[in-house]
Amino acid sequence: MSRAYNFNAGPAVLPLEILEIAQKELIDFNGTGMSIMEHSHRGKAYDAVHAEAVANLGKLLGVTDDYQVLFLQGGASLQFSMVPMNLLGAGQVADYVNSGAWAGKAIKEAKKVGAVNVLADTSKEIPTNMPDYEALNYTPGAAYVHVTSNETIAGTQIQRFPRTAAPLVADMSSDILSRPLDLKQFGLVYAGAQKNLGPSGVTLVVIRKDLAERAAATLPTMLQYRTHLEENSLYNTPPTFGIYILMLVTRWLLSKGGAAGMEKINQAKAGKLYAAIDNSGGYYRGSAVKAFRSAMNVTWRLPSEALEEKFIKEATALKMIGLKGHRSVGGCRASIYNACPMAAIDALVAHMADFQAKNG
């Protein structure tokens, strides 16, 4: 097999080693004569997978006793509603930062639930940008502060999280475990798995336990964090196969030195790609301001849309997949999550040099 260079924004590339293990075990998991997909979510075989996924994430994220790891469904899109439904009480206000498309969706859903204060809006800025998070005018007594750690479409990323008086809630869908995190700084962190953690269909939530007690008992049972906290994410049938793949990914992350190890690798990958952009004499232009450049989603433009189209078409022929920018912004985007190998970056950088030489 000739493996593609996968730059998809999500679902995204997974470590080949993980896929090989999953393939080998697919029909007969650990000699049980069944696929892990066929095991009961209340049986021993799956129990061990679930427990290891929780334990490994505990190590990788520095989870202490006052926090809990949850596996939910519905992606970040459902978290946009669950966060305010659980944490935003009547008469309270929640602070949000509108840093782009994903933050904008979170704000839209929160406004359906309660009072929202938008502290800053950089969502329309070109080059794409983020505000100075440490200089924002946070609301005293806010229920929580919501930020989006990485904007996949804009290619921007928070470099330093603010220390906030209210619990900090972060959508980390596109950069979870790509770098170390001081969990104590957050009240709640959530992430769809399909970028850095595994396949789509699993949502990771890490919650400070006391926050789960805020929700009214009249909320639908499935939409209360409390339910999933009390039942260790086994209130109903979880997406077992997705959690199994996520567990394998956490093993792989631990073998790479965890979040700190990944950060070094990710900085090297992103550094090489941004250097190719910056050293092109203006032929390639980064879409994001340098101070907020994302190490996960690298966005850039060529001199014309026609050249962008040609660049992407030729890249596709070289098995580089997913380089088209989001339809809402155009241009090029390379999503280079944890599992994207350096070989993919090297191939892309070579194509960029070659393309410029021929079309510059």
Nearest to 50 by CA among 230, 189, 245: 245
Binding of its own copies by 331 (CB under 8 A): no
Residue from 39, 179, 226, 293 touching its own copies (CB under 8 A): that is 39
Ranges within 177-236 binding its own copies (CB under 8 A): 192, 194, 199-202, 218-223, 235-236
Closer residue to its own copies, CB minimum distance, 45 or 277: 45
Helix axes 240-255, 258-278, angle to 10 degrees: 80
Q: Does 78 bind its own copies (CB under 8 A)?
A: yes
* Among residues 52, 62, 63, 73, the one that binds its own copies under rule CB under 8 A: 73
CA distance 67 to 228: 13
Is residue 108 a contact residue for its own copies (CB under 8 A)?
Answer: yes
Check residue 288 and report its DSSP letter: B
Region binding its own copies by CB under 8 A among candidate stretches 77-85, 123-131, 272-280, 287-295: 77-85
Task: Check binding of 238 to its own copies (CB under 8 A).
Answer: yes
Nearest one of 39, 41, 19 to 31, comparing CA atoms: 39
Q: Is 65 a catalytic residue?
A: no
Nearer to its own copies by Cβ, of 74 and 127: the residue is 74
* Smallest separation, CB 145 to its own copies (Å): 21
Q: Is 354 a catalytic residue?
A: no
To the query of whether residue 195 is one of the catalytic residues in this protein, the response is: yes
Cα-based distances in Å from 302 to 9, 32, 189, 315 = 20, 54, 35, 14
Structure token pair of residue 74: 């519905």
Active-site residue among 95, 195, 269, 324?
195
DSSP for residue 286: E
Residue 58 CB contacts under 8 Å (≥ 6 apart), including other chains = 69
Least Cβ distance, residue 29 to its own copies (angstroms): 10
Span 140-169, contacts to its own copies by CB under 8 A:
none
Name the region of 233 (left: φ>0; alpha: ψ -120 to 50; beta: rest): left
Is 294 a binding residue for its own copies by CB under 8 A? The answer is no
Which of 57, 60, 85, 94 is close enough to bind its own copies by CB under 8 A? 85
Number of residues that bind its own copies (CB under 8 A): 67
State the minimum distance, in angstroms, from the CB of residue 23 to its own copies.
Answer: 4
Q: Smallest Cα–Cα separation from 262: which of 199, 207, 181? A: 181
User: What is the distance, to the nearest Å, from the Cα of residue 60 to the centroid of all Cα atoms in its chain?
Assistant: 15
Q: Within 13 Å and on the Cβ side, how many CA atoms surround 321?
A: 11
CA distances from 156 to 126, 148, 300 (A): 12, 10, 12
Catalytic positions? 102, 171, 195
Contact positions vs its own copies (CB under 8 A): 1-4, 6, 8-14, 16, 19-20, 22-23, 26-28, 32-35, 37-41, 43, 73-78, 80-81, 85, 108-109, 112-113, 192, 194, 199-202, 218-223, 235-242, 245, 319, 321-322
